[in-house]
Structure formats: C-alpha cells, structure tokens
C-alpha cells in the first residue's frame, strides 16, 4: 500500500512537471544546472551557388538545424550561419555563360534552376571552345579585380539565389541569422597570408604556391596549401579568414561546422593552422562530420535541387496517404503530406550515428508502423484527436492512483527519463538518442491506446488517463520540434 501511494505521488509529480515546464520540460533538470550560457555559432547547410545541391547539403541542413535547436533549448545564444560557396571560377563560367545563353526573365523567376542550366551548358561549350573558357577566365579576373559590371552581375546571381533558398528553407522550418559566404573573404584572405608570413609560418614552394607546415616544425611532412601560384586564395585560406573574422565579430565560445566526413581533413588543417597562429580559441572550433547517403533519387533522376527532394517527399507521401485506410479527410493534404514526409526523411537520417553511411530507400522511410517519422507523426495526430474529442479537466483534480497499471507506469517512467536523453545528445551532438526515445515513447503509447480506454471508463479513471496521454503528446511534440519536425494534429 505504501509503495502504491508513493508511486501515485510520483506520477502526479511527473505529470505536473510536464505541464508546468511545457517546452522546457527536461531542460530544468539538475543535469543542466550551472550550465553557463554560451555564445555558439553553427555553420551549416552552405550550398554552392550554381552547382548541384547534393544530399550532403540536405544532411548538413537538417543536422545543423538540430544542433542549433538543441543548443538554443539549453539556453545558449545561437547564431546560425549559412556559408555559401559564392565565389570562384564557377562564377566566371556563369558570367560568360549568361551573356551567351541567359534569360533575364528565367533568372528572375527561377534563379537556381536557370543558373544551373547555364552552368551545365557553359561547361560543355568550354570543353570544345577555347574562347568560352577564355572569356570565363576573363570574367572571373574582372570580378577579382573589382570590376563594377562583373560584380553587379555576380551580386544579382547571388541575391536571387539566396532569395529562392530562403523560401525553400522555410518549407523545412529552417532559418539563418547570417547569410555569409566565401565571397566575404575574397580580400580578407590577404591579411591571413600576411599574418602567417609575419609569424614565419608561410613557406614558398618551387611551384610558386605557399604552404603551411602543419607540424609547426618546418619539416613539411604534412602541409596545407594556402595560396595558389597566381597569389589567389583557396577554400582553406578563406575559412581561416572567416574563423578569425567571426571571432572578432562574435567572440564565440564555440563554433560548430557541419559537413560530410570528406571535409574532416580540411577542418583539422584549418584548426591546426589557427593553433599555430597562436589563437587559443582554436580549441573552441569543432567539426561535426556525417556519412554519405547513397541512392537518394527522385523519379526524374538525381537530386539537383533541394526543392526536388521536398517535392518528391510530398508527392510520395500524398500517394501513401491516399492508399492508407486511416487517412482522414484533410483540408490541407499537401501541407500535411509535406510535414509527415519530412519527418520521415529526418528520422531515417537521425536514427543511426551521424558518421555512418546509409542507403536511402523511399519505401522504408514511409512505413507507418516501423520506426519511422510517419509513426511519430501518426502517434502525435492520434493523441491530438484524443484531446479534441474528450474534454480534459484540471490536473489538480486527477487521482493518480488510477495510473498504476503496467502500461501507465512504463509510460510515466519513460517520461521521467527525458532529461537524460537530452543530456546524452547535448554531450555528443548525436540526435539518435532523442530519436530512439521518441520511438519507444510512441510504441508504449500504441500499447496503452489498446488497453487504457477512455470511453466507458469511470470518470476518475478516464480523467487520469487523458492527462497521461496529454503529457505524452507534449513531450513527443517537444522532442520532434528539437529534431526539426513540425508535429501534425491530423493526418
Ligand atoms: N560550400 C561547402 C561545400 O559545399 C561547404 C561549406 C562548409 N562550411 C565551411 N565554413 N567551410 O562543400
């Protein structure tokens, strides 16, 4: 009896905390107490203008968004930075190509598509025609020299592309605080080279390039090139300039870069050079790498644009919903399909270690009973409709002694563990802890749904169960939002 009593007090306390803390449930735990508020920069998504948007960029977008959400939830001050590939020879080709076969109207109406078309075509022409290649090089030279006309065309390409990206990110529920890019450092890299030289870290090679010996001992066993023979910068040089610039601007406590694992060496080199330059804050920089996704294709072929992935997801989900017996009549089926489909995409991606590669499979991600995002959304929608159907009174009046059956107890115990899971993810920045927690919560709920009836139960019992389900929905929604998923209330 005493034990049952203690348990009912505990149940009451868990439910109370879930409702009172709302979106902050789990985050007020002692696991996070004394956690100082930090300035965190997250550099993510960062596609290259005019080039293909590949699955790696999609992964960077959703992983970076998750990390930013999590850091924000933990109370840190987060700045989300999109570092576009917006400088380089590809703009020489685009500039030359646009003059040959560009259309102003097409550029205005669908810039990403049109610029990519031009890019593909001009590359083809340049392979056969030396003059095209020449004029591309000349265009880029003008850009580097600060020629106003060349720069204004480049600026137009960039502005219109970003404008379109912002719209697409919106569909994903992703936003950025800063749209930066490699172009910002097209001049500032010179300062980095000067500094490296002053510190005696810059070595000239016979080819006329400049390198930094990463051991710092001058034996050149491992080095990083920071200047081309014509004096221009490389990817690494611009990242060095960007890191220093961000330190000056934000005085960050930590900066996190999210890219595929192919860039691991790149970031280790950049961090090591910063260290050699004497910046102790190099230790505050972190690269979060992820693995390769194989075989993500749309029915039309390879993924070229971010929009393709989202549209394909929506389309396939709509088809699935049309076949499903449980689908409700919806006012906005397209929107719901998109939200559910994106949840499926995100859960598939976040289930394992970020560093592992995986093979993408459209059918698998949409299984409504498997460990999928569809299952999470379905659970959330079911719980929402329960709340709509039955009026749920005040928590104060519930009798928690009615929640001592095994199903309720396992749910309550699971709810209690949410803070530990958040803590784990905050430590290794891996979303999989939260994913598996939410999937288990949904499985427990599916079982409880079958046995813990509301209709036909005594009012006292029904009321207690309704509160339990309401608490589950709240925690489920919190977790989904952290992962970057917008929960739906009908599907
Ligand atoms: N634009 C690069 C790419 O597509 C990713 C940039 C990542 N961020 C950075 N600061 N280097 O590979």
User: Which of 281-310 are b and which e, b meaning 16 or more Cβ less than 10 Å from the residue's Cβ?
Assistant: bbebbebbbbbebeebebeeeebbbbbbbb
pLDDT in tens, 287-335: 999 999 988 888 877 778 889 999 999 999 999 888 887 777 888 999 9
With vertex at residue 161, the alpha carbon angle to CA 158 and CA 165, rounded to the nearest 5 degrees, is 135
Residues 6+ apart with CB under 8 A from 110: 164
Backbone angles phi, psi at 213, to 5 degrees: -80, 120
Q: Would you call 41 helix, strand, or coil by DSSP?
A: strand
> If residue 97 lies in a helix (H) or strand (E), which one and from where to where?
helix 89-101
Same domain, yes or no, for 143 and 248? yes
Decide if pLDDT at 363 tops 90.
Answer: no
Which one-letter DSSP state was computed for residue 186? Answer: T
Lowest mean pLDDT among 139-143, 256-260, 306-310, 319-323: 319-323
Q: Of 294, 328, 357, which closes a domain?
A: 294
Give 75's DSSP letter.
T
* Domain stop point among 239, 263, 294: 294
Same domain, 285 and 309: no
Residues 150 and 265 in one domain: yes
Gap between the Cα atoms of 80 and 64, Å rounded? 8
Helix (H, G, I), strand (E, B) or coil at 292: coil
Ligand 1 center to 241 CA (angstroms): 14
490, part of any domain: no
Ligand 1 and 257: CB distance under 6 A: yes
Q: Where are the beta strands (DSSP E) in 189-235?
A: 202-204, 210-213, 223-227
**What is the CATH classification number for the domain harbouring 309?**
1.10.730.10
Could you tell me the CA-to-CA distances from 153 to 140, 143, 148, 187, 378 in Å, in that order?
A: 11, 10, 9, 19, 48
Residue 220 has what pLDDT? 67
Domain count, the chain: 2
**Mean pLDDT along residues 28-46:** 94
Residue 489 falls within a domain, yes or no? no
Provide the percentage of residues in the chain whose pLDDT is more than 90: 80
Q: What is the mean pLDDT of residues 359-388?
A: 92
Tell me the pLDDT tens digit for each residue of 168-183: 999 999 999 999 999 9
Q: Is the CB of 261 under 6 A from ligand 1?
A: no
Residue 39: strand pairing partners? 77
In a domain, 460, yes or no: yes
Please work out whether the CB of residue 239 comes within 6 Å of at least one atom of ligand 1: yes
Q: How many CB atoms lie within 10 A of CB 423?
A: 16
- Residues 51, 55, 59, 61, CA torsion sign: positive
For residues 410-425, average pLDDT: 97
Q: Which residues contact 150 (CB under 8 A, 6 or more apart)?
A: 95, 139, 142, 143
CA dist., res. 101 & res. 334, Å (int): 36
Centre of ligand 1 from the C-alpha of residue 96, in Å: 25
C-alpha 271 to ligand 1 mean position (Å): 15
Residue bearing the bigger pLDDT, 11 or 213: 213
Q: Mean of the pLDDT values across residues 251-257?
A: 98
C-alpha 260 to ligand 1 mean position (Å):
9
Q: Are residues 120 and 26 in the same domain?
A: no
Query: Does 488 map to a domain?
Result: no
> Does residue 43 line the site of ligand 1, with CB under 6 A?
yes
95-136 pLDDT tens trace: 999 999 999 999 999 999 999 999 999 999 988 999 999 999
Give residue 1's pLDDT: 47
Apex 277 CA angle, 274 and 281, nearest 5 = 50
Whether residue 317 is found in the same domain as residue 455? yes
Output the CA–CA distances (angstroms, integers) from residue 38 to 9, 79, 111, 166, in the order listed. Answer: 37, 11, 38, 27
**344 and 224 fall within a common domain:** no
User: Is residue 491 domain-resident?
Assistant: no
Is residue 355 within 8 A of residue 290, CB to CB? The reply is yes
Gap between the Cα atoms of 342 and 353, Å rounded: 19
3-state percent breakdown (helix, strand, coil) of the chain, nearest 5:
60, 10, 25
Q: Mean pLDDT over all residues of the chain?
A: 93
Q: Are residues 379 and 428 in the same domain?
A: yes
Ligand 1: residue of 263, 266, 287, 289 to mutate (most ligand atoms within 8 A of CB) is 263
CB atoms within 10 A of CB 490: 16
Report strand pairing: 77-84 vs 39-43.
parallel
Is 430 within the bounds of a domain? yes
User: Is residue 421 included in any domain, yes or no?
Assistant: yes
Sign of CA dihedral 350, 65, 339, 261: negative
CATH number assigned to the domain comprising residue 79: 3.40.50.620
How far apart are the C-alpha atoms of 311 and 385, rounded to whole Å? 28
CA 484 – ligand 1 centroid, Å? 21
Average pLDDT in the 383-391 region?
91
Q: Are residues 91 and 236 in the same domain?
A: yes
pLDDT of residue 3: 67
How far apart are alpha carbons 372 and 368 in whole angstroms?
A: 7
DSSP for 351-387 reads SS-TTS-EE--HHHHT-SSSSSHHHHHHHHHHHHHHH
Residue 323 and residue 276 share a domain: no
Q: Which residues have C-beta within 8 Å of that of residue 430, sequence separation ≥ 6?
A: 353, 354, 424
**Do 312 and 219 share a structural domain?**
no
Is there a single domain that holds both residue 118 and residue 141?
A: yes
Q: Is residue 148 part of a domain?
A: yes
> Catalytic residue positions?
51, 54, 57
- Residue 282 and residue 335 share a domain: no
Ligand 1 pocket, residue 304 CB under 6 Å: no
Give the whole-angstrom CA distance, residue 327 versus residue 347.
Answer: 21
Q: Whose CA is nearest to atom 6 of ligand 1?
A: 46
Residues 6+ apart with CB under 8 A from 184: 242, 245
Q: Is the CB of 88 under 6 A from ligand 1?
A: no
Q: Is 349 in the pocket of ligand 1 (CB under 6 A)?
A: no
Of the residues 261, 294, 327, which one is the last residue of a structural domain?
A: 294
**Can you give the residue range of the structural domain that contains 458?**
2-35+305-483
Long-range contacts of 451-459 (CB under 8 A, 24+ apart): 451/405, 451/407, 452/405, 452/407, 452/408, 454/386, 454/390
């Amino acid at each position: 009896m005493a034990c049952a009593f203690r348990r009912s007090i505990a149940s009451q306390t868990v439910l109370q905390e879930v409702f009172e803390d709302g979106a902050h449930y789990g985050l007020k735990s002692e696991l996070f107490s004394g956690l100082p508020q930090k300035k965190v920069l997250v550099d993510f998504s960062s596609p290259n203008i005019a080039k293909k948007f590949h699955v790696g960029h999609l992964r960077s977008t959703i992983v970076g968004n998750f990390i930013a959400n999590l850091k924000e939830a933990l109370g840190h001050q987060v700045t989300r930075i999109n570092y576009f590939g917006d400088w380089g020879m590809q703009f020489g080709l685009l500039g030359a190509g646009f003059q040959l076969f560009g259309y102003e109207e097409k550029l205005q109406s669908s810039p990403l598509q049109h610029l990519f078309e031009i890019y593909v075509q001009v590359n083809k022409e340049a392979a056969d025609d030396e003059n095209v290649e020449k004029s591309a090089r000349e265009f880029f030279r003008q850009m580097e020299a600060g020629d106003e006309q060349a720069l204004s065309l480049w600026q137009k390409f960039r502005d219109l592309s970003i404008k379109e990206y912002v719209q697409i990110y919106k569909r994903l529920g992703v936003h950025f605080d800063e749209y930066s890019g490699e172009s910002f450092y097209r001049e500032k890299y010179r300062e980095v080279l000067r500094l490296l030289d002053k510190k005696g870290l810059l070595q000239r090679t016979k080819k006329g390039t400049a390198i930094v010996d990463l051991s710092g001992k001058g034996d050149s066993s491992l080095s990083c090139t920071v200047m081309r023979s014509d004096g221009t910068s490389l990817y690494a040089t611009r990242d060095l300039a960007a890191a220093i610039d961000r330190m000056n601007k934000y005085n960050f406590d930590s900066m996190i870069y999210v890219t595929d694992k192919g860039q691991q060496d790149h970031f280790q080199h950049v961090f090591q050079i910063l260290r050699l330059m004497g910046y102790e804050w190099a230790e505050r920089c972190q690269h979060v790498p992820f693995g390769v996704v194989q075989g993500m294709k749309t029915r039309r072929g390879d993924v070229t644009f971010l929009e393709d992935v989202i549209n394909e997801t929506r389309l396939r989900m709509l088809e699935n919903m049309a076949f499903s017996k449980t689908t409700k009549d919806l006012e906005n089926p397209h929107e719901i399909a998109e939200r559910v489909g994106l949840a499926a995409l995100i859960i598939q991606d976040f289930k394992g270690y970020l560093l592992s590669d995986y093979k993408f499979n459209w059918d698998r991600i949409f299984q409504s009973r498997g460990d999928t995002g569809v299952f999470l959304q379905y659970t959330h929608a079911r719980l929402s409709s329960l709340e709509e159907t039955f009026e749920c009174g005040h928590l104060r009046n519930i009798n928690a002694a009615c929640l001592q059956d095994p199903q309720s107890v396992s749910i309550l115990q699971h709810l209690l563990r949410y803070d530990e899971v958040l803590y784990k993810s905050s430590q290794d920045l891996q979303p999989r802890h939260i994913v598996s927690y939410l999937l288990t919560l949904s499985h427990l709920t599916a079982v409880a749904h079958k046995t813990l009836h509301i209709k036909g139960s005594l009012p006292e019992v029904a009321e207690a169960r309704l509160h339990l389900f309401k608490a589950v929905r709240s925690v489920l929604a919190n977790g989904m939002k952290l992962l970057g998923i917008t929960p739906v209330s009908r599907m």
